[in-house]
């Protein structure tokens, strides 16, 4: 590549950052990093009614949280700004005025009602709704009359007839459009604000964007944009359109399929590295079988050539698996910090735990870390560390306790626990060893009854650590309560 790589992410601030948007941002980010290029972030807010500063903030916050820092753009600065379209209106003016002068665009006085009636008539005939060119060839006198009537025109681009427009898409290959299927389209609305299709061209050209990498939903906009580049004689970037993301039932990913915004995952305690890893594999396939990638490995391996033309399927189970892998590897300190707000909110831990409590919690989380798909789940796993009574026994646990030796093991363990001088792992281990020898049981028959006596279940965190962290009093109380219930 001789031209400097410059790519951009250009969200419309009309809602939160979604999975699809974050993936587009990531592919751009990876492409920039891989080729030593620039990653630019700018805001496309020409849809004045739906754009808000709050959405803008949320999107940028989520991008940062995911670790996609940008080299240039909104808040990062650069010499090709401003980076918010609403602040660039003065830059667009000259370009659309030039198109008007060169008759490559014209003022259109049609009202929304007239346009809708036209579209409806076409739909009825089974044709594609499009603009048929009512204002295309108005005489100067007609225009003057309409202006005098106080009508404010929009500006429409005059689509050249009979042209074949070929998009050489870096992912999809050649995609052909015919200009005759595209009606003259609005480039500036009657309030003077350019439309997306126009502003995006001027922005990409002035910002010297080399590759436009975006979602497939924009592919049908591309021929329109290419016509504008040509009409203004601007250098065209290369295009790459990433396939849609589908839910598991193969319909377009939507709220029905689970959380769609990055913020929702963040709020549940997904780790940013895991989400990034997951997003990278939504449509891009590495050469080998590897699934877990560090960021630098992703940069190393990424190429547009391995981005698939077919849609990607969003698989929540896979995301959960991936996140659980990242959680297991994470520093317990970090998981504790992330877990704390959920535990406080659910009332398990007080707002500002003492250093001792925090230390205890850290040991607890480092145990539970093995079982978490996402950090918020800690709320459902932590109850085992609280309370002096076993509330419930699973059917499998009850089955196990029918074995003759099971009750004996629990009784003996309780007695020995009372005698223990120090509550440390080696001492607890030797208690188990002694009981095993005495009763002639080992393995599961030795450990599982104690687990059931403490938790009512055959599953749960590592037993030795559980005993240690529950503390002597709680262990004795629980075993006592369990024996009462089981023998009663």
Applying CB under 6 A, the residues found at the interface with ligand GLU are 10-12, 44, 200, 214, 218
CB of 205 to ligand GLU, least distance (A): 13
**CA dihedral for 446, 451, 456, 457, sign (positive or negative):** negative
Output 10 or 108, the one with its CB closest to ligand GLU: 10
Q: Report the length, in residues, of the chain.
A: 488
Give the shortest CB-225-to-ligand GLU separation in angstroms: 8
CB of 347 to ligand GLU, least distance (A): 40
Minimum distance from CB of 12 to ligand GLU (Å)?
4
Task: State the residue for tokens 């629980």.
Answer: 478
Q: How far is the CB of 55 from ligand GLU (least distance, A)?
A: 11
d(CA 44, CA 203): 10
Q: How far apart are CA 266 and CA 247, in angstroms?
A: 20
Nearer residue to ligand GLU within complex by CB, 212 or 367: 212
Using CA atoms, how far apart are residues 193 and 187, in angstroms rounded to an integer? 9
429 part of the active site: no
Peptide bond into 98 cis (omega under 30): no
Nearer to ligand GLU, 220 or 350 (CB): 220
The smaller minimum CB distance to ligand GLU, of residues 197 and 365, is found at 197
- As measured in angstroms, the least distance from the Cβ of 27 to ligand GLU is 11
Nearer to ligand GLU among residue 10 and residue 227 (C-beta) = 10
**Closest CB to ligand GLU among 12 and 261?**
12
User: Out of 255, 309, 328, 487, which one is annotated catalytic?
Assistant: 255
In the complex, what is the shortest distance from the CB of residue 24 to ligand GLU, in angstroms, rounded to a whole number?
A: 7
Given CA atoms 391, 396, 400, 402 in this order, what sign does their dihedral have? positive
Q: Which residues pair with 175 in a beta bridge?
A: 167
In the complex, the smallest distance separating the C-beta of residue 200 from ligand GLU, rounded to whole angstroms, is: 5
Residue 362 structure tokens: 């850290």
φ, ψ at 308 (rounded to 5°): -80, 150
Compare residues 40 and 479 and give the one whose CB is closer to ligand GLU. 40
Closest distance to ligand GLU from the beta carbon of 23 (Å): 12
Q: Which residues are catalytic?
A: 255
């Amino acid at each position: 590549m001789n031209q400097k790589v410059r790519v951009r992410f250009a969200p419309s601030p009309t809602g939160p950052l979604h999975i699809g948007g974050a993936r587009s941002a990531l592919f751009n980010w990876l492409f920039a990093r891989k080729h030593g290029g620039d990653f630019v972030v700018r805001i496309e807010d020409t849809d004045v009614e739906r754009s808000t500063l709050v959405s803008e903030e949320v999107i940028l916050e989520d991008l940062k949280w995911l670790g996609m820092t940008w080299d240039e753009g909104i808040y990062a600065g650069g010499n090709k700004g401003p980076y918010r379209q609403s602040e660039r209106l003065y830059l667009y003016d000259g370009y659309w005025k030039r198109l008007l002068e060169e008759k490559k665009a014209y003022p259109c006085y049609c009202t929304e009602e007239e346009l809708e009636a036209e579209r409806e008539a076409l739909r009825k005939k089974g044709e594609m709704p499009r603009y048929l060119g009512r204002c295309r060839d108005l005489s100067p006198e007609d225009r003057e009359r309409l202006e005098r009537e106080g009508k404010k025109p929009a500006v429409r681009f005059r689509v050249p007839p009979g042209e074949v427009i070929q998009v050489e898409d870096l992912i999809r290959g050649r995609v052909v459009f015919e200009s005759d299927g595209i009606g003259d389209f609005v480039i500036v609305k009657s309030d003077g604000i350019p439309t997306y299709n126009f502003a995006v061209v001027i922005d990409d050209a002035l910002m010297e964007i080399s590759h436009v990498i975006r979602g497939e939903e924009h592919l049908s906009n591309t021929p329109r944009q290419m016509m504008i580049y040509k009409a203004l004689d601007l250098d065209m970037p290369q295009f790459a359109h990433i396939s849609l993301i589908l839910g598991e039932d193969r319909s377009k990913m939507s709220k029905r399929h689970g959380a769609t915004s990055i913020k929702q995952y963040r709020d549940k305690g997904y780790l940013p590295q895991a989400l990034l890893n997951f997003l990278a594999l939504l449509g891009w396939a590495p050469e080998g079988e590897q699934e877990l990638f560090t960021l630098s490995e992703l940069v190393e391996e990424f190429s547009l050539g391995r981005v698939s033309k077919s849609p990607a399927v969003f698989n929540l189970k896979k995301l959960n698996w991936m996140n659980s892998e990242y959680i297991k590897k994470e520093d317990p300190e970090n998981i504790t910090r992330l877990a704390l707000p959920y535990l406080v909110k659910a009332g398990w831990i007080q707002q500002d735990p003492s250093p001792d409590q925090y230390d205890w919690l850290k040991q607890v989380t480092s145990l539970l870390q093995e079982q978490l798909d996402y950090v918020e789940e800690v709320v459902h796993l932590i109850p085992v560390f609280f309370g002096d009574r076993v509330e419930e026994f699973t059917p499998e646990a009850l089955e196990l306790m029918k074995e003759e030796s099971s009750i004996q093991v629990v009784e003996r363990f309780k007695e020995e626990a009372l005698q223990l001088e120090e509550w440390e792992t080696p001492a607890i281990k030797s208690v188990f060893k002694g009981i095993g020898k005495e009763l002639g049981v080992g393995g599961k028959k030795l450990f599982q009854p104690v687990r059931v006596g403490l938790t009512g279940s055959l599953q749960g965190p590592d037993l030795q650590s559980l005993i240690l962290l529950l503390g002597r009093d709680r262990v004795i109380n629980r075993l006592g309560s369990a024996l009462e219930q089981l023998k009663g």
